[in-house]
Chains A and B, each alone.
Chain A
């Protein structure tokens, strides 16, 4: 199996992405932007899951369905995961020095992007409505 290792700025939190990359995206929702200095959260999901190690990781429940992991020593964003299905997890692409080789597949929650920047049109955009439809489909399975 392929393993991708990453770390936060201070090194207190280490992550491992297991297996091949399933997908990656840039999320522009207001919650991601408020957590990530106004820009998108670039998340990557792996086919065989992810592991997060380190005592300094904190989790913040940012909505009814999602929570956000961060390093409480240096403030680095670590991950987003679903509360009731924590195996559905996106690690921050920023934690991987070589970027894992991932390409960003889509801009999600694109209609909620900040008014101070523009999105590239080289990859698909998915609106909040489209994303909530995808979440519903996941909960049904």
Chain B
């Protein structure tokens, strides 16, 4: 059981992420890149509960039929991703966490969806969409 505190740029959203850490990952899928400044969603994937402390600015955007993305409507910080069918499976932005000193990337995921301008370091294993479908952390279908 782990617990991490975090907040957005303006403080309109603050939270405590609790549960079991499934994986620390950077996701290069098209939607993560478009939402996040053309980079990747660097997050801690949890099985547990996301507890809001202040959700004044929080909005969930239904990005697909399977998942929603949480962000702050005051400052635009991208904060969360969660499965629609099972909200105990969620991903929290590493950029929002107050202390990341104990966290290292376990994997770069959806690397076959990266943009041409991106060079993904060899610092962690590279997983393609096919790798992830063959061995899912969580079935969100």
B40–A37 contact, CB under 8 A?
A: yes
A74–B100 contact, CB under 8 A?
A: no
Q: For this complex, into which size category does the number of interface residues on chain A fall?
A: 35 or more
Complex contacts, A122 vs chain B, CB 8 Å: 119
- The reply on B32 being an interface residue by CB < 8 A is yes
- The reply on A43 being an interface residue by CB < 8 A is yes
Instruction: Identify which of B35, B78, B101 gathers the most chain A CB atoms within 10 Å of its CB.
Output: B35
Complex contacts, A69 vs chain B, CB 8 Å: 76
- The reply on A76 being an interface residue by CB < 8 A is yes
A32–B37 contact, CB under 8 A?
A: yes
Complex contacts, A40 vs chain B, CB 8 Å: 37, 39
Q: For this complex, into which size category does the number of interface residues on chain B fall?
A: 35 or more
A39–B95 contact, CB under 8 A?
A: yes
- The reply on A106 being an interface residue by CB < 8 A is no
Task: Tell me which of A30, A36, A93 contacts B115 (CB under 8 A).
Answer: A93
The CA-CA distance from A68 to B37 in the complex, in Å, is 11
Question: With A35-B77, A104-B117 in contact, is A9–B31 under 8 Å at CB?
Answer: yes
The CA-CA distance from A128 to B140 in the complex, in Å, is 41
- The reply on B137 being an interface residue by CB < 8 A is no
- The reply on A10 being an interface residue by CB < 8 A is yes
Residue of A nearest to B73 (CB): A72
B39–A75 contact, CB under 8 A?
A: no
B93–A75 contact, CB under 8 A?
A: no
The CA-CA distance from A58 to B77 in the complex, in Å, is 12
Complex contacts, B77 vs chain A, CB 8 Å: 34-35
Task: Tell me which of B9, B31, B33, B117 contacts A35 (CB under 8 A).
Answer: B9
The CA-CA distance from A48 to B40 in the complex, in Å, is 28
- Within 94-115 of A, Cβ neighbours of B (below 8 Å) are at 94-95, 98-99, 101-104, 114-115
A residues near B, CB below 8 A? Answer: 8-10, 24, 26, 30-43, 58, 60, 62, 68-77, 92-95, 98-99, 101-104, 114-120, 122
6 contacts between A and B (CB under 8 A): A37-B41, A60-B74, A60-B75, A94-B39, A116-B103, A117-B105
Closest 7 CB pairs of A and B: A70-B76, A75-B71, A38-B42, A94-B38, A38-B94, A42-B38, A39-B39
